[in-house]
Structure 1
Amino acid sequence: MPQPRHTLPIEPLTAEAFRPFGDVIEASDTAQHFTINDGFAERYHDLAHIDTAAEGGSTLVSLFRAKPRAFPLSVATMERHPLGSQAFVALAPVPFLVVVAPPGAAPDPQAIRCFLAQAGQGVNYARGTWHHPLLALDAPTDFLVIDRGGPAEPGNCDVIALEEGALWLVR
């Protein structure tokens, strides 16, 4: 393994810290919520801004199965979706990592951040937010994914290579 030049710290995932990149999806007391179904369920309402209508897009609901990654991990690629948001919610009560950078022409390596999504949390990347592909940790993990489909596909995914070995994730 090459000598890491920069190790990316892993931060707790909070709505406030993640706001520049999108929404945290979770059943928290800060979310608007109310009782439904004759008192047998609590609805946590409107947790993410799903943005898929640009250029005739539609909303897709899919399942992704992610394989766990080996650590230390070189952060070598980032991607973004310029025409729509993309939401990920793990279907098992397991944590996963979220690596993001603000929208722009290319991700600034100094602006890349890593968050640990705990069991019960998901994320919705805002349109144009740079992010690393899924980072399952300890076992294959199924994710519910809500994103954009439409006439501009597959042009809604920009992928960029970062300098190999310059940025590392260490658990």
Structure 2
Amino acid sequence: MKHPLKVEPLTADSFAPFGEVIGPADREPDFEGRSGTQLWGLDFEVDGRLQLGYIRVPYQRLSFSMMEQHDGVTQGFIPARGPAALVAVAPPTEPGRTPRPPDVRAFLLDGSRGYILKRRTWHSLDRFPLYPPYGDWVILTGWETTQDLLASGDRLGAKLTRAVDFEQEYGIVFEFDMAHVS
């Protein structure tokens, strides 16, 4: 069964249950240099080593059934090159609990801002570029999380990552509904 997801703009308020938007904040900067350079700090955490990477996501169908969450890191994604993209998220849960389909939300990533996910926030495995051929992203993640995923062979056997396949569990495939994007 298809489950449409209304696509919302990525704003600090709308994204707050899931993490932080990377960009100028609606508050005073945490630091301002003599030249006027401003810095807003962000809440990024990792258990272990930070891994900074560059990922390329090919254009694909705007639908998915898999979501995952991570224990040891608050992953961050910063657009590097390519078209606007979409991402789906659901609120963090404790291990052993999965999100309900009505809790899944979709956001438009217009290329001007990135985002940081809270620990255990459920998210689609990809950011979905709106146009071919691909979108490039800088990722901040945990080295241990990546190694755990590589060692498991799939997300279902990982220790630091949990995954759910909504098609397998509930017969649902999520589709991004672009009709009402503002």
1:118 pairs with 110, 115, 118, which one?
Answer: 110
Question: Does the 8 Å contact 2:21/2:115 carry over to 1?
Answer: yes
Unaligned residue ranges in structure 2 (runs of 5+): 149-158
Is residue 2:91 matched to residue 1:97? no
Aligned partners of 1:17, 1:151: CA distance in 2, in Å?
Answer: 27
Q: Which has the higher helix share?
A: 2
Unaligned residue ranges in structure 1 (runs of 5+): none
1:43 Cα deviation after fit: 3.1
1:132 alignment partner in structure 2: 124
Letter paired with 2:88: V
Aligned partners of 1:161, 1:81: CA distance in 2, in Å?
Answer: 15
Aligned partners of 1:88, 1:157: CA distance in 2, in Å?
Answer: 17
**Share of identical aligned residues, percent?**
26
TM-score, structure 2 length as denominator?
Answer: 0.77
Give the stretch that moved more between structures: 123-132 or 93-102.
Answer: 93-102
Letter paired with 2:129: A
Q: How many residues get paired?
A: 160
1:42 pairs with 37, 40, 57, which one?
Answer: 37
Question: Does the 8 Å contact 1:33/1:42 carry over to 2?
Answer: no
1:161–1:21 Cα change, 3 Å: same
Letter paired with 2:66: T
3-state SS of 2:14 partner: helix
2:76 alignment partner in structure 1: 87
TM-score, structure 1 length as denominator?
Answer: 0.82
Aligned partners of 1:142, 1:114: CA distance in 2, in Å?
Answer: 19
